[in-house]
């Protein structure tokens, strides 16, 4: 079995590629880093170490790589693959769509009509649906109908913390022990061989929102409050009892949204939340608040980890003062080497906070939540003015 994975970064190697290799796939990484491409081609393996006391290490075999610049070779790999996955970042999907389309076209104009599953393992809602739209923009119109019959783009939810890291071996990657990969079974085509340790469900949205409103919301809450306090890592921020308490209260608020919306057992969800809190405090992982907080404009967009649960809370009548404070903290994220942070602060300076909340976050000024954000932003800004 052949798998093509776009992105040879830490998530690609330490999570998706690892599970695909375990399942018996020959994994071909499509990458940009020439050094990693060369090493993967030469060694055909790499190591993954768990951030646990035992430092358990696994060798991932049957791997190779192709440069993303080699369009013909990439198309050929996609044309003969049994599965295609991505971990490139949702904003980069548009850059790989043409290569995937070329591979599908080559496949369909040839003799290979076997079902192909293309799964975007990105930190986004409906990432595979987005990728399909991008791919079809490049796929010849006469192939759309046949592609619909044998190419599937099931959405997924993926979760594993893999911080920025450096090793003497450029291919080695350290990951947390916990992981979760959930795929929408209803979008799979008949005959697909399920991947071990991947969960297949008929209704994906509850799992997507559980992860988004708990892991992603929680992680960035710790990052933005930690940044304002001057901490460098999530672990340092979590050692601050005030931030830890604030995070716990945020997750209590998002938990109320989830248990109310999906009629979940509160005690069971609370156990999930506590497991996530333990992950954030793992002393064997050092995760930068800058990495977790980066791209604040994306994280403050309408359907992402902060605004989406907040608006649902208002619809359900759930009070969210602590989630509102997390949003305010995100609006104060001004790391000068982050392009989105710079753009966000420039927009606030030129147009004002009301306009940013309306135009970027999609919350009109007449919405009750709009003024709550403004008030919380003003309070936090004043509190940290002396620190700055």
User: Do the bridges between strand 57-61 and strand 45-50 make them parallel or antiparallel, or are there none, so unpaired?
Assistant: antiparallel
Strand order in the sheet with 199-201: 156-159, 180-184, 199-201
Question: Cβ(153)–Cβ(130) under 8 Å?
Answer: no
Cα–Cα distances (Å) from 184 to 24, 101, 118, in that order, read: 21, 22, 12
Residue 351: Cβ within 10 Å count? 13
| Binding residue numbers for NAD(+) | 3-14
Going by the DSSP 8-state scheme, the letter that residue 25 receives in this structure is P
Q: Which helix (H) or strand (E) holds 256?
A: helix 241-262
The residues with which 77 forms a beta bridge, in sequence order, are: none
| Residues annotated within a binding site | 3-14
Which residue, 164, 287, 298, is CA-closest to 223?
287
Beta bridge pairs of residue 312: none
């Amino acid at each position: 079995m052949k798998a093509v994975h776009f992105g040879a970064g830490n998530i690609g190697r330490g999570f998706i590629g690892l599970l695909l290799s375990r399942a018996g796939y020959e994994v071909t990484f499509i990458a940009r880093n020439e050094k990693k491409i060369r090493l993967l081609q030469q060694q055909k393996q790499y190591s993954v170490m768990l951030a646990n006391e035992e430092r358990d290490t696994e060798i991932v075999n049957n791997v190779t790589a192709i440069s993303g610049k080699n369009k013909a070779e990439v198309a050929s790999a996609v044309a003969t693959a049994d599965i295609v996955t991505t971990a490139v970042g949702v904003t980069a999907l548009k850059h790989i769509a043409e290569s995937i389309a070329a591979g599908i076209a080559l496949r369909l104009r040839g003799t290979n009509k076997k079902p192909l599953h293309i799964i975007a393992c990105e930190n986004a809602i409906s990432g595979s649906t987005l990728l399909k739209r991008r791919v079809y923009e490049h796929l010849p119109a006469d192939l759309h109908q046949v592609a619909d019959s044998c190419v599937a783009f099931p959405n997924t939810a993926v979760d594993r913390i893999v911080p920025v890291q450096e090793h003497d071996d450029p291919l080695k990657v350290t990951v947390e022990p916990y992981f979760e990969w959930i795929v929408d079974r209803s979008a799979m085509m008949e005959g697909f061989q399920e991947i071990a340790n991947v969960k297949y469900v008929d209704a994906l949205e509850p799992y997507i929102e559980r992860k988004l409103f708990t892991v992603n919301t929680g992680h960035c809450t710790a990052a933005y409050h930690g940044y304002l306090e001057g901490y460098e890592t999530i672990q340092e921020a979590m050692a601050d009892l005030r931030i830890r308490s604030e995070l716990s209260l945020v997750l209590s608020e998002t938990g109320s949204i989830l248990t109310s919306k999906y009629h979940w057992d509160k005690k069971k969800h609370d156990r999930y939340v506590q497991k996530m809190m333990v992950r954030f405090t793992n002393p064997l992982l050092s995760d930068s608040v800058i990495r977790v907080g980066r791209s604040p404009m994306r994280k403050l967009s309408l359907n992402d980890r902060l605004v989406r649960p907040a608006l649902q809370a208002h619809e359900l009548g759930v009070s969210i003062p602590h989630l509102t404070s997390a949003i305010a903290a995100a609006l104060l994220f001004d790391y000068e080497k982050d392009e989105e942070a710079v753009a966000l602060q420039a927009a606030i300076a030129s147009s004002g906070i009301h306009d940013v909340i309306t135009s970027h976050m999609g919350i009109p000024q007449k919405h009750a939540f709009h003024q709550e954000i403004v008030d919380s932003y003003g309070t936090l800004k004043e509190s940290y003015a002396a620190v700055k």
